[in-house]
């Protein structure tokens, strides 16, 4: 009989015992005189003994030695063989670092549990939404500045060309347009698709298309149009029209004419307001969208074009471009890098104010899980 006081490695030459000479071990919980809980193990003679089973060896150990022995078991056999499920206590005491690898393992074992916890936590949903928006801003930046990345995105689309890349990106991230384009909150006309037919038989019929059909939010709604070119399109002609004066590029002036034509035709076909419908196809008497000189936007090129050979601002080019777009009543012209800067500011602003409560109508949802 022995009371185990400490547990350490054995350096003797030991071989496996024969199964034929195996014994039975029984366990029992006992208490020491001072109340300490002990685990008592007793082994009984081999099955070849003629007499009744009799205790031959016994061991006792307390919780400390038991903890050491548990670690020995796990090191020797591994958690999988012992059917031990890793458990992480989320109530980490202050000052204790959380191992991301362990959290990742826990997530891998039961991702649905993590999703449920997050879905029930308002703050966690905000964190997930902000993380998604940060990742999309980074994607926006890479599309704008990394040619190989832009090409890889283009190669994944069935419709070839540069414009479909941006169309696809803004379809996935309508919040960038909804918050960035104007001081009003804009929402997509259709929850499934930004690009819509806006002239012809009806909004849903055959006719003139616009890349993004939006409308303002509030008790009275107005229609808003947006057209995407690409960041690679020129803003100005390659050579000055006169000394110090640079004319808008064919893509810029053509894009302006395209948007103006789209809006004009939509107003002509639809009228000054469009009545909404409900799920059964009947008219919704409370849902009207107005087309009183609707706002429109053309997104094209980047301001990098307005820099000179050494990287400084080419003031004649900048002046020519700014004067041209500021004189336009419609559409308003934005460059892709300006839109990116606005999206970056939105994400940074949301991150800094994440602890403040938000009303349900203060942001536009991403429509992504």
Tens-digit pLDDT profile for residues 176-233: 887 666 655 555 555 544 455 454 444 434 345 566 677 766 677 777 888 889 999 9
- The strand pair at 186-188 and 55-61 is best described as unpaired
Is the pLDDT score of 65 beyond 60? yes
Percent of the chain with pLDDT over 70: 75
Confidence of residue 319 (pLDDT cuts 50, 70, 90): very high
Q: Considering the entire predicted model, what is its pTM?
A: 0.58
Tell how far CA 134 is from the center of its chain.
7
In the chain, % helix, strand, coil (3-state, to 5) comes to 40, 20, 40
Please give the span between the terminal C-alpha atoms of the chain, in angstroms, as a whole number. Answer: 63
Is the pLDDT score of 280 beyond 80? no
Please report where in the chains the tokens 């038989």 appear, as a residue: 201
What is residue 112's predicted lDDT score, i.e. its pLDDT? 79
Distance between CA 36 and CA 44 in Å, rounded? 26
Is the pLDDT score of 18 beyond 90? no
Confidence of residue 165 (pLDDT cuts 50, 70, 90): very high
How many alpha carbons fall within 13 Å on the CB side of residue 269? 19
User: Which is more confidently placed, 291 or 257?
Assistant: 257
Is the pLDDT score of 362 beyond 70? no
Torsion angle in degrees (nearest 10) through CA of 331, 332, 338, 339: -60
What is residue 359's predicted lDDT score, i.e. its pLDDT? 45
Distance between CA 130 and CA 122 in Å, rounded? 12
Cα 87 to Cα 65, 75, 105, distances in angstroms: 21, 17, 10
């Amino acid at each position: 009989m022995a009371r185990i006081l400490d547990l350490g490695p054995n350096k003797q030459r030991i071989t496996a015992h024969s199964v034929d000479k195996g014994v039975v071990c029984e366990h029992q919980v006992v208490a020491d005189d001072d109340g300490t809980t002990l685990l008592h193990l007793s082994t009984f003679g081999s099955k070849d003994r003629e007499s009744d089973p009799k205790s031959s060896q016994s061991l006792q150990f307390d919780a400390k030695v038991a903890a050491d022995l548990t670690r020995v078991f796990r090191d020797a056999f591994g958690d999988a063989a012992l059917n031990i499920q890793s458990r992480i206590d989320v109530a980490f005491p202050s000052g204790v670092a959380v191992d991301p690898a362990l959290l990742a393992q826990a997530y891998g074992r039961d991702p649905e549990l993590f999703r449920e916890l997050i879905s029930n936590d308002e703050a966690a949903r905000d964190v997930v939404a902000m993380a998604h928006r940060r990742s999309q801003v980074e994607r926006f930046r890479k599309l704008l500045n990394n040619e190989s990345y832009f090409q890889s995105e283009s190669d994944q689309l069935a419709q070839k060309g540069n414009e479909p890349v941006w169309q696809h990106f803004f379809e996935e991230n309508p919040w960038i347009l909804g918050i960035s384009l104007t001081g009003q909150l804009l929402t997509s006309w259709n929850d499934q698709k930004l690009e819509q037919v806006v002239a012809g038989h009806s909004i849903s019929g055959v006719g003139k298309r616009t890349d993004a059909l939006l409308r303002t939010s509030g008790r009275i709604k107005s229609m808003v149009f947006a057209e995407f070119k690409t960041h690679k399109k020129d803003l100005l002609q390659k050579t000055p029209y006169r000394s110090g004066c640079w004319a808008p590029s064919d893509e810029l002036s053509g894009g302006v004419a395209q948007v103006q034509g789209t809006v004009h035709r939509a107003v002509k076909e639809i009228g000054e307001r469009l009545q909404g419908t409900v799920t059964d196809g009947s008219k919704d008497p409370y849902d009207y969208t107005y087309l009183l000189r609707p706002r429109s936007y053309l997104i094209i090129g980047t301001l990098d074009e307005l820099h000179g050979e050494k990287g400084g601002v080419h003031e004649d080019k900048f002046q020519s471009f700014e004067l041209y777009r500021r004189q336009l009543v419609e559409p308003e012209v934005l460059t892709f890098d300006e839109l990116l800067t606005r999206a970056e500011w939105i994400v940074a602003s949301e991150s800094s104010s994440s602890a403040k409560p938000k009303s349900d109508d203060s942001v536009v949802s991403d429509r992504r899980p």
